[in-house]
Structure 1
Amino acid sequence: MPESATSKGDAAGREAAPAPDPRRWQALAVCLVAGFMTLLDVSIVNVALPSIRNGLRSPESDLQWVLSGYSLAFGLLLIPAGRLGDARGRRVVFLAGLAVFTLASAACGAAQSSLWLVVARVIQGLGGAMISPQISALIQQMFSGRERGRAFGMFGTVVGISTAVGPLLGGLLIQAAGPGEGWRWVFYVNMPLGIVCFLLARRLLPDTPSASRVRPSELDPVGVLLLGAGLLALLLPFVQAQQWPGDGKWLLLAVAVALLAAFACWESRCGRRGTVPVLDLSLFRLHSYWLGCLLSLLYFAGFTSIFFISTLYLQAGLHSTALQAGLAITPFAVGAAAAAGPGGRMVSRYGRPLVVFGLSMVVVGLAGTVAAVHLVPGRGVAWAMAAPLLLAGLGSGLVIAPNQTLTLSQVPVSTGGSAAGTLQTGQRVGSAIGIAAVGSVFFARLESRNWTTAYDLGLVVSVAFVLGALVLALADVTVSRRARARTNEVSGPGPSEREGYHDDHPDRQ
């Protein structure tokens, strides 16, 4: 009788569990295409800047804002957009962002002046920011267990290749359409994809169960303003490092610290008064979350700056075409795409040590790239860089998706949008800081017109950021193992240790 009762109880529990959405993989495909578009536009414009300058007769400052305006708008709205998706429904915010992004892409392609293009790029960044955090939150909502790791692995593939494939795709479009008007197709290519994604998203994406109608005051507008101003003050001196001479610009960092401190105080006050803040500071009490955010910031500082200086070195230093430069860094994209899927699946078994292994591969690959630049002179260096960049790409695929899974593993689904927005804001901030730091070293060395030495020193700075992420991940693994060893000495191994789980295992909620 007891066994029968237990069996009945288990059966009832299984019947009560909600069935997974049968269209979840189709919905994920729509999310991934939209995510690819928004992340691709971070890098695809790089190879189009010379054509834009000639076509619109743009000054260099406007060309800088074509790049930084998108990134700044993207980074600043990520957290508010994530919070809005949690409150009003992720499907609704996703659709609104997709509409804004597609229309702004059309406006970019039709630009008749550099000011028009800069404004359209900022709006395009706002649309991308509305889309991006909803993707991670929808994965949290639609998938669980090993399926969630697999879904994040697929998303990691998109993140890993979108930045790397941008210069290659941009070079192909410009070569096909011609240098005069080819830059416009860098933006027009988003229109058919955006329209198809919008129609499919309306039909396939699920509603958010916890969503309800909210007043604007409930979205913490003061917190949004303080956070936006703080991030803007933090990013501006890095993004404008080459345009603003003198050291006065670094005073903005003190302003950023003051604004972000005021933001933290305001958010704590909201929590005590029972108001839902734009950023739940309690998330940073989760070890896996704060560690993953910091690791992601450091890694993206090194990861994205690699393509920045590689493209400059190959095009300006070795006089390669935009297409040739894009082809040269394609092995990294191929490696990242190949490893991201398996990485998303393996993280449920190996946990943080998998990230350590991936970071080690990236460091070795970048060191091999430095060696290739010295061993092979002239344009042949592009072929010599292929193997080490492929190794670095494989390592990157084992970093981005697994780290994202581990970072969000303990986050409640109800706050998944804002948590994902915070994580991706860290990635954008890291990218801006990394490009500024690497670029300052790179351009300082170019005063002597020594392209090889400049590239070497730039890569050293990129590797330093990746090494910082590696040291952080190693420290976490070491501390976790020692803590488990002490626990086992006192009470013996628990179920999680016997099953091979780690403290940061993605299925441990």
Structure 2
Amino acid sequence: MPSSQDVNVPMDADDTLVSDADRWRILAVLLGAIFMSLIGVSIVNVALPAIQSGLNADNSDVQWVLSGYALTFGVVLVAAGRAGDIMGRGGLFLIGLAVFTLSSVAAGLAPDARWLNAARFVQGIGSGLLSPQGIGMIQQYFRGDERGRAFGYFGTVVGFSVATGPVLGGFLIQTGGPELGWRLTFLVNVPIGIVAFVLGLMWFPRPLFRRPPEFVEGQTPRRGQRLRSLDPIGSLLLGLAVLAVLYPFMESRGSVLTWALLPGGFLLGGVWIWWERRYKRLGRSPMVDLDIFRTRSFSNGTAIMTLYFLGMTSIWVLVALYVQNGEGKTALEAGMFGIPAALLSAYAANWAGHRVNRYGRKIVIAGLVLALVGLAASILVILLNEWTGLSIWWLMLSLSFIGLAQGSVISPNQALTLAEVPLEYAGSSGAIMQTGQRIGTSVGIAMITAAVFLSLETLSWSISVIIGFVLIAAVILVALAVAIKDQHDRRKARPEPDRAQLEQEAAPEKRGSTPDYSGGHY
């Protein structure tokens, strides 16, 4: 057994004692797999033209290379998160990792577009299985300042994957040629996935499939109750609701019937809420305890994340379209525009992760302000390029503010949003937040790019992209208002410390207690 000095007891009960070294090794496996899944997405963005020519695919086929992955990912997220909460997160994480890795092989060897899209659907399922387990395991094994650091490292990985993905994709396509290059963008995931899987088998606590110890006596479902705890009807209702909401925004040739799915999705969402409340009234464990939305930090943080992704993810789509179609740059050059922003995002995420306990929501507010600064500076660069011939490469500088914003918003907001969520719902609540991200991303890209393409019928690329940036700024302003409201709520809820408490905090060496890993209040 490890000594008391190097043991972190991350749960309330059970026999799970995870040493300090072990939990950081667990985090390394989580981040390696998440890096693989994220770089797989960013690489594909630059590989689409090569895929289209290599497989003689039409525009709809190419669109579903992206949309199919996002669709299945969003549909399985919350159900997969709850399954990890009930059955054990480590085993489901490794299953998702194996599914993602094997489907990467299938995608890289695809003989036609239909095969490739089927593989991408399965990839989305694999990513949807592993992603909520990763966030749930960070919640499970880390507390206090160290949880902020862990989420900071998570944000760093996000930044590096965004930075290296497009450039690596361009390099592989250029090196491998029109037939092999795009295949390498999928096969590059395989060695990372194999290494992460082997290390997970070595380092994850045993048994891999075990109920997490945060389920205390009286709440832990017995073997015969686990199916009811998974809430299969609730899982099906929510999956269908997310599918109905996302599908119209992903189908470029959508008919009136396709868009009729949208109100049907909202109706299914209402039925799901009714079912979850009824399920709890019957004394059963619902898929999602809707009472978590009464926790303001969770509801406000989820709203901020959804709004942020509704706007900000469209920036890189518009930049890629503008510099290639409007300015005549290559795909590799287009990928290079985001490198400084992504590297600064990685740095900002790490910096913020170490300080989120100290400054709380103020970091997120500052990040959203930086996003607005970056949008305003990018609009100025585009206008000066149009009026004076200023080099468009100055966008690398203005977009750097966007990178700082990303690192200052995403990871700190995750830590703050999940801080007060009960551990027995760590996976499903984190998945709810990610589902908001997926819906925000899909709806935002569809609506903002539609506005830009509509503007292109009468206006230039420069003015059309500026219109898109203005729409994004409007969404970020709403997110900023929610963040300021959350900061105000926290200030009102924070009790005034008495003099004895202040003196105790000023002299920690007088206390003989161990550090508090209870999560606390940010």
Residue 459 of structure 1: how far off its partner (Å): 1.3
TM-superposed CA distance for 1:482, in Å, is: 4.8
Task: Compute the displacement of 1:410 (Å).
Answer: 0.6
Per mean C-alpha deviation after superposition, the further-off stretch among 387-396 and 163-172 is 163-172
Q: Are residues 1:440 and 2:450 paired?
A: yes
Give the 5 Å matches for 1:295-374: 295-374=304-383
1:51 corresponds to which letter in structure 2? A
Counterpart of 2:173, as a letter, is I
Task: Find the aligned partners of 2:82 and 2:311 in 1 and give their Cα distance.
Answer: 28
Q: Per the alignment, do residues 257 and 478 of structure 1 end up closer, same or farther by CA in structure 2, a change over 3 Å counting?
A: same
Report the 3-state secondary structure (helix = DSSP H, G, I; strand = E; otherwise coil) of the residue aligned with 1:470: helix
> Which residue of structure 2 aligns with residue 187 of structure 1?
186
Q: Look up the match of 2:280.
A: 271
Moved more, 270-279 or 183-192: 270-279
RMSD of the TM alignment (CA)? 2.5
Contact 2:52–2:58 under 8 Å retained in 1: yes
**Match in the other structure for 1:251:** 260
Q: Which residue of 1 aligns with 2:29?
A: 30
Q: What is the aligned counterpart of 2:406 among 363, 385, 396?
A: 396
Identity of aligned residues (%): 45
Are the aligned partners of 1:296 and 1:426 in contact in 2 as well (CA < 8 Å)?
yes
Q: Secondary structure at the match of 2:354?
A: helix
CA shift, 1:80, in A, is: 0.8
Listed as ranges, the matches of 1:201-280 within 5 Å are 201-207=200-206, 208-209=212-213, 210=215, 213=223, 215-240=226-251, 242-244=252-254, 249-280=258-289
Q: 1:379 to 1:427 in 2, by over 3 A?
A: farther
Distance 2:328 2:347 in 1: 30
Are the equivalent residues in 2 in contact too, given 1:442–1:458 (CA < 8 A)? yes
Residue ranges of structure 2 left out of the alignment (5+ in a row): 1-8, 207-211, 507-517
Report the alpha carbon displacement of residue 311 of structure 1 after superposing the two structures with TM.
0.8
Contact 2:158-2:346 within 8 A present in 1 as well? no
Q: Which moved more, 1:179-188 or 1:473-482?
A: 473-482
Shift of 1:498: 10
Asked if structure 1 preserves the Cα contact closer than 8 Å seen for 2:107 and 2:183, the reply is yes
Q: By how many angstroms is 1:481 displaced? A: 3.2
Q: Which amino acid aligns with 2:203?
A: L
Post-superposition Cα deviations, 1:422-478, rounded to whole Å, max 9, x if no partner, equal 111111111111111111111111223621112111111222222211111112223
- What residue in structure 2 maps to residue 196 of structure 1? 195
Deviation at 1:151? 0.3
State whether structure 2 residue 510 is matched by structure 1 residue 508.
Answer: no
Matches within 5 A, 1:14-93: 20-93=19-92
SS of structure 1 residue aligned to 2:365 = helix
Cα shift at 1:380: 6.3
Report the residue type matching 1:314 in the other structure: V
Please say which of residues 16-25 and 327-336 is displaced more in the overlay. Answer: 16-25
Partner of 1:121: 120
Distance in 2, matches of 1:37 and 1:45, equals: 12
Deviations 1:254-301 (A, max 9, x none): 111110000001111111112222222121111111111111000011
Instruction: Write the mapping of 1:381-460 to structure 2, written as runs, cut at 5 A.
Output: 381-448=391-458, 450-460=460-470
1:217 Cα offset (Å): 4.4
- Number of residue pairs the alignment of both structures matches: 485
- Give distance in 1, aligned partners of 2:165 and 2:478: 26
Report what 1:100 is aligned to.
99
Q: Which amino acid aligns with 1:171?
A: G
Distance in 1 (alpha carbons) for counterparts of 2:502 and 2:250? 45
- Partner SS for 1:98: helix
Structure 2 CA distance, aligned partners of 1:315 and 1:148? 41
In the TM superposition, 1:136-151 aligns within 5 A as 136-151=135-150
Q: Deviations over 1:293-339 (max 9, x none)?
A: 11100001122111111111112222211110000111210110110
Distance 1:146 1:362, change over 3 A: same
The CA distance in 2 between the partners of 1:471 and 1:384, in whole Å, is 30
In structure 2, relative to structure 1, the CA distance for the partners of 1:507 and 1:123 (3 Å cut) is same
TM-score, normalised with respect to structure 2: 0.87
Q: Which amino acid aligns with 2:250?
A: V
Q: Determine helix, strand or coil for the equivalent of 1:447.
A: coil
Q: After TM superposition, give the deviation of residue 353 of structure 1 in Å.
A: 1.3
**1:218 Cα deviation (Å)?**
3.8
1:132: which partner in 2? Answer: 131
Given that 1:376 and 1:384 are in contact with CA atoms closer than 8 Å, whether structure 2 keeps it comes out as no
User: Aligned with 1:310: secondary structure?
Assistant: helix
- Inter-CA distance 382–34: structure 2 relative to 1 (3 Å threshold): farther
* Superposition deviation, residue 65 in structure 1: 0.9
8 Å CA contact 1:328–1:382 kept in 2: the answer is no
